Each structure stands twice: as C-alpha cells, then as structure tokens.
Amino acid sequence: MGTIKRTALAGLVAVATSAPALAADLLPPPPPPPPPVVVEVGTGWYLRGDVGVGSQDFRSVDGADVVRDGGTFWRKNLADTSFVGVGVGYQFNSFLRFDLTGEYRTSAKYDVSDRFQYARDFGFPVDTHLTNRYTGDLQTSVFLANAYLDLGSWYGITPFVGAGVGVAYHRVRNAFDNGLIYNFNALTGDAVNTEATGGIAFQNNRTDLAWAIHAGLAYAINPNLKLEIAYRYLNMGAAETGRLSCGVVCTSNNTFSPLKLKEIESQDIKIGMRWMFNAAPAPIVVAAEPIAAPVPLIRKYCAVLRLETGARGNA
C-alpha cells in the first residue's frame, strides 16, 4: 500500500515539475503557408503612337541610258527624315504581341551624279565627257505588320526584339537632271564647245516590299500605359522617277529613262507609347501545397514512466 502511495506521489511531482519543461520541449509553431503563385496571362488590345528620326541611304542607282552609254554613278546621297506613326496591336501573353502600323515620313532630298565618256563626230572624232546631276524629293509612307518578343521585366523595364514586313509607298517629285557636256579635241585636249543639258520629270509613285528589324526597351508607367524607346532597321525597296524629258535649256525634245534608287534603307530611332485597353491582366492563381504541421514531442509520459519504474525498483 505504501508503494502505491509513493508511486502516485512521484507521478504528481513529475507532472508538476515537467510542465515548464513540456512547454520548452514543444517545437516552434509551423511557418505560414506560402502565398498563392500568380501567373500573369497579360492579354488585350492596345493602341500605339510613335515619332522618330531616320538616317537614310540607298545602296545603288540605276539608269538605263547611263548604263547603255557606258557611264557610271559615282556619287549618291539621301537626306535624313523624321516620321510619325500610329497602330493597333494585341498582346497575346506576357512575352508575345503583334501590331499593325502605318507611318508618314517627311520628304527628303536625293542627290546623284553620273559620268561617262563617248566619241562624237564633228567632222573629226572628239571624245565627249558628260556629267549629270540628278536631284529630287522622296516622300515615303510605310505600312508594316510586326511581331515582338518581350524578354522579361525588371523594375518595370522590359527589353524586346521584333521584326516586321509590309509595303512602302514612294512618291518622287521635283526631279531634275542638270547636265553639262564638255567636248574636247582628242589631239590637243582643248575644249571645242560646251553644251548644257537639262531634264525634268513628272511625279512618279511606286509601291515596293518593306521589312524591318526592331530592338528596344519598354517602361510601364501604369498598368495601362507603356513608353518605348527603340532602334529600327528599315528597308523600303526601290523608288523611281518618271521619264526625264528635255528641259528649257535644250532643244532635242528627247526623253530619257527614269532614275531608280534601289535598296532604300534607314536607321531609325523612335519614341513610342502603348495604351492598353485592359487595365490589368487576368491572373491564373495556382494554389500552393499546404505544409503539414509537425507533431510536437511530449515528454511527460516518458517522465512518469521513468518515475514509476524507479519507484517499483525501490519497493
């Protein structure tokens, strides 16, 4: 009977003394579950506007009459331009978008010269040296279908690359052919006479294939508005004058082949904006896996068992 009393008393003492230890032995509360994962599907229509400047050039010049007479083009220049454009597009997801754009490029002056030599007969052979300077105004409108790849966002800044294809509509106006023929005595080299030539051409329009490559950065002002700064290489095909006819400084009434500017290209820098119709993309919420709370280790039963075992051994 004394043994049972001693065992019960030992158990009560063990429970009372193990209460503080029990609180210390419990594991800390489990961490809160992670927030849901939100995957943005950023879709929606947008409007865009752009302004910019372009450094223009063309790769070669062609004129059938000059080639026929054995001449060559030795100098060419095309002035820079500025442009303004608008468009409409669609953002398919967070990295892929498409748009259709149209732009008006201001008129730019072209300036080309040729030279060649041929024999003329004045009752005796004379080598003739001819040079012509061709000038005019080129104005182009460009229409493109573009695709872009957004490369991720950091602090609201999104780099992107893209490509486009479409058409360029060229208008060539105020085309002039200002020429001068120098006739020289083949034996002495002295000038025999000098003839001024000149030609004018009516306006001519031409449509050709255009294509572009884009690269730039976009910055999100707010969920609706994004600003862009971009570089673009633009190839606008070829433009052509009308047929050149003899001007007031000559009396031959001849007409001459058009002048063709081939592979017109521009290195463009532009600033643009995109206005999204959808203020925020529709999110897809992916629920996080719940984390099971760990089971606390309770040692009071172990303490009671040890006390009981010890008391029995004493008895």
Most confident of 24-38, 40-54, 187-201: 40-54
- pLDDT class of 68 with cuts at 50, 70, 90: confident
Token pair of 74, please? 């030795």
**Residue 262: which of 68, 73, 102 has the closest Cα?**
73
Query: Which residue ranges make up each domain of the chain?
Result: 40-286
Q: Identify the residue with better confidence: 35 or 95.
A: 95
- Which pTM does this prediction carry? 0.69
Please give the structure tokens belonging to residue 254.
Answer: 């001849």
Assign domain 40-286 to a CATH class.
mainly beta
- Which pLDDT score is estimated for 229? 98
**Chain segment 129-182, per-residue pLDDT in tens:** 777 888 999 999 999 999 999 999 999 899 999 999 999 999 999 998 877 666
Phi, psi angle pair for 25, to nearest 5°: -80, -15
Cα separation, 167 vs 53, whole angstroms: 19
Name beta bridge partners: 164: 146, 212
